[in-house]
């Protein structure tokens, strides 16, 4: 690489490719002209060395364990900010003034109700449906209820659909939960803040109102901040790819939720808690560490490892503190799961296999224990992740739509199937 170009030599042919530098982070080689000049594609399944877009929203330094939203360290936002302020920051690029914040909070709060017909839509699901299945469907269905905000070329409609998604996700998430446990839906209450409103919609019943605990509400708000965005992860890339064809934002976010559900991504919080429950006691940890290290065993320590972080996930550190706060508040200080988690972390951090592969606890390692203590069943963990990540998905979708150079995402492939051959009638096939 020299100056602002990189030279690629293929056989006896050398071509110059432009390079681009970001404000921080690695420089990229712009390989868009490669096919025109060489007739070749690049090959990078899993995108391990490929930047799929230019973005100004979130920055991660995986080696140093740094996460910045619009330049602000996650630790500072989690300590001093609140979730709706973080939403504003991610969407508009700057922290809001007091007046902007009050206006934003007001607008989000006024969109929390969902169309009454949605309740009927829910009745079509089996009661034992996984709430993530219900979320994929109900968020996708929003486009059938809110036609007046699906024209993506209209900035006002884009703004309204963004507000609607941030505001209605807690309502839909709480409805998905209430439906699976056979309790009536609880309407949002606009005098409550965002996390308290969500807790109340989940845990209130008509015969007994739920008074949100401010310590739990603050902890939940912090969990939402930690999950709000994470640059071009699998679900965000899914949202961008779906949106690149011009699909409406409700459909795109439903696609993101579907991707998030997988255990290698957002489903890991549910899987991590199930793993801790299966391990059960500290004395059983060594056998699980051995399984995780065994090449012939597909078992992995859930909540460990990350494609980008090769250091302690900064979100996991904050999450660990939040877990202690919540357990203390609820009087679960001696939760056996926490004991197993702390010991598992301690052993893994000193084990050669994990050190060499740079496998550290990620955010999902501690979030499950915290959410379980708050009263959420494991099946709701990924739903809460989806609720919080919605703003990140929208901010990334909006950034893409507003980029004048945006075009449909259309990767190429390395084809290894049959070459051209002629059709043979069934009687002549062997």
Positions marked active-site: 306, 364
Nearer to ligand CMC, 59 or 125 (CB): 59
Contact 179, 125 (CB under 8 A): yes
Give me the 226-255 binding string for ligand CMC, x by CB under 6 A, dash otherwise. -------x----------------------
Of 202-210, 215-223, 260-268, 406-414: span binding ligand CMC (CB under 6 A): 260-268
363 binds ligand CMC (CB under 6 A): yes
The minimum distance between CB 236 and ligand CMC, in angstroms, equals 10
Q: How many residues lie near ligand CMC (CB under 6 A)?
A: 19
- Residue 4 CB partners (closer than 8 Å, separation 6+): 18, 19
CA pair distance 244, 408, nearest whole angstrom:
5
304 binds ligand CMC (CB under 6 A): yes
Of 14-22, 61-69, 194-202, 356-364: span binding ligand CMC (CB under 6 A): 356-364
Burial of 274: CB neighbours in 10 Å, binned 0-12, 13-18, 19+: middle
Nearer to ligand CMC, 191 or 296 (CB): 296
User: Which residue among 301, 338, 371, 395 contacts ligand CMC (CB under 6 A)?
Assistant: 301
User: Which residue among 143, 364, 384, 401 contacts ligand CMC (CB under 6 A)?
Assistant: 364
CA pair distance 334, 340, nearest whole angstrom:
11
The minimum distance between CB 285 and ligand CMC, in angstroms, equals 13
265 binds ligand CMC (CB under 6 A): yes
**Helix 155-181 / helix 194-203 crossing angle, nearest 10 deg:** 30
User: Which residue among 215, 264, 290, 355 contacts ligand CMC (CB under 6 A)?
Assistant: 264
Of 61-69, 205-213, 300-308, 421-429: span binding ligand CMC (CB under 6 A): 300-308
CA pair distance 156, 425, nearest whole angstrom:
57
The minimum distance between CB 304 and ligand CMC, in angstroms, equals 4
307 binds ligand CMC (CB under 6 A): yes
CA pair distance 255, 240, nearest whole angstrom:
10
The minimum distance between CB 15 and ligand CMC, in angstroms, equals 30
Which residue reads 């801790």 in tokens? 276
User: Which residue among 266, 314, 368, 392 contacts ligand CMC (CB under 6 A)?
Assistant: 266
- Residue 279 CB partners (closer than 8 Å, separation 6+): 285, 288, 340, 344
Helix (H) or strand (E) holding 58: strand 58-61
CA–chain centroid gap for 147, Å, is 26
User: Which residue among 237, 362, 370, 382 contacts ligand CMC (CB under 6 A)?
Assistant: 362
Q: Nearest to ligand CMC by Cβ — which residue?
A: 305
- Residue 310 CB partners (closer than 8 Å, separation 6+): 62, 63, 358, 360
DSSP 236-253: HHHHHHHHHTT--HHHHH
Of 137-145, 197-205, 304-312, 409-417: span binding ligand CMC (CB under 6 A): 304-312
Nearer to ligand CMC, 96 or 303 (CB): 303
Of 92-100, 122-130, 243-251, 303-311: span binding ligand CMC (CB under 6 A): 303-311
User: Which residue among 91, 241, 268, 371 contacts ligand CMC (CB under 6 A)?
Assistant: 268
CA angle 13, 14, 19 (to 5 degrees): 150
User: Which residue among 219, 255, 292, 388 contacts ligand CMC (CB under 6 A)?
Assistant: 292
The minimum distance between CB 266 and ligand CMC, in angstroms, equals 5
Q: 306, 221, 320: which is closest to 265 by C-alpha?
A: 306
302 binds ligand CMC (CB under 6 A): yes
- Residue 197 CB partners (closer than 8 Å, separation 6+): 112, 170, 188, 189, 190
CA angle 343, 267, 243 (to 5 degrees): 140
CA pair distance 321, 315, nearest whole angstrom:
10
Contact 179, 127 (CB under 8 A): yes
User: Which residue among 73, 284, 357, 411 contacts ligand CMC (CB under 6 A)?
Assistant: 357
The minimum distance between CB 59 and ligand CMC, in angstroms, equals 16
147 binds ligand CMC (CB under 6 A): no
How many other C-beta atoms can be found within 10 angstroms of the C-beta atom of residue 327?
Answer: 18
67 binds ligand CMC (CB under 6 A): no
Please write down the long-range contacts of 158-161, taking CB distance under 8 Å and 24 or more positions apart.
Answer: 158/249, 158/398, 158/401, 161/248, 161/249, 161/250
The minimum distance between CB 365 and ligand CMC, in angstroms, equals 7
Per CB under 6 A, residues contacting ligand CMC are 233, 264-266, 268, 292, 300-307, 357, 359, 362-364
């Amino acid at each position: 690489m020299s100056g602002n170009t990189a030279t690629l030599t293929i056989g006896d042919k050398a071509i110059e490719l432009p390079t681009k530098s970001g404000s921080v982070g690695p420089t990229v080689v712009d390989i868009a002209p490669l096919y025109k000049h060489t007739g070749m594609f690049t090959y990078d399944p899993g995108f391990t060395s490929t930047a799929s877009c230019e973005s100004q929203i979130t920055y991660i330094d995986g080696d140093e364990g740094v996460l910045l939203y619009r330049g602000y360290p996650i630790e500072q936002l989690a300590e001093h900010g609140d979730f709706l302020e973080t939403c504003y920051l991610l969407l508009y690029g700057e922290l809001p003034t007091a007046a902007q914040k009050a206006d934003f909070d007001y607008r989000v709060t006024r969109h929390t109700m969902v169309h009454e017909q949605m309740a009927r839509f829910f009745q079509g699901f089996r009661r034992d449906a996984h709430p993530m299945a219900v979320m994929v469907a109900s968020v996708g269905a929003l486009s059938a209820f809110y036609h007046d905000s699906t024209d993506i070329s209209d900035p006002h409609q884009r703004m309204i659909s963004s507000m609607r998604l941030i505001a209605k996700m807690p309502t839909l998430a709480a409805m998905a939960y209430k439906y699976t446990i056979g309790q009536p839906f609880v309407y949002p209450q606009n005098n409550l803040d965002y996390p308290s409103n969500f807790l109340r919609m989940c845990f209130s019943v008509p015969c007994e109102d739920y008074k949100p605990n401010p310590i739990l509400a603050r902890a939940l708000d912090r969990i939402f901040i930690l999950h709000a965005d994470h640059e071009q992860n699998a679900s965000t890339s899914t949202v961008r790819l779906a949106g690149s064809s011009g699909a409406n934002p409700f459909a795109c976010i439903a696609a993101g939720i579907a991707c998030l559900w997988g255990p290698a991504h957002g489903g890991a919080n549910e899987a991590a808690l199930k793993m801790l429950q299966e391990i059960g006691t500290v004395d059983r940890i060594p056998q699980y560490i051995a399984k995780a290290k065994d090449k012939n065993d597909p078992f992995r320590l859930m909540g460990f490892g990350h494609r980008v972080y090769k250091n302690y996930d900064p979100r996991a550190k904050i999450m660990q503190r939040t877990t202690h706060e919540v357990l203390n508040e609820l009087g679960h200080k001696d939760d056996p799961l926490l004991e197993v988690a702390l010991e598992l972390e301690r052993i893994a951090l000193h084990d050669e296999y994990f050190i060499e592969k740079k496998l550290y606890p990620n955010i999902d390692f501690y979030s499950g224990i915290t959410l379980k203590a708050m009263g959420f069943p494991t099946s709701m963990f990924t739903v809460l992740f989806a609720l919080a990540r919605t703003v990140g998905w929208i901010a990334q979708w909006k950034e893409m739509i507003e980029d004048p150079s945006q075009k449909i995402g259309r990767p190429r492939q390395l084809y290894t199937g049959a070459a051209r051959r002629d059709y043979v009638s069934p009687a002549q096939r062997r």
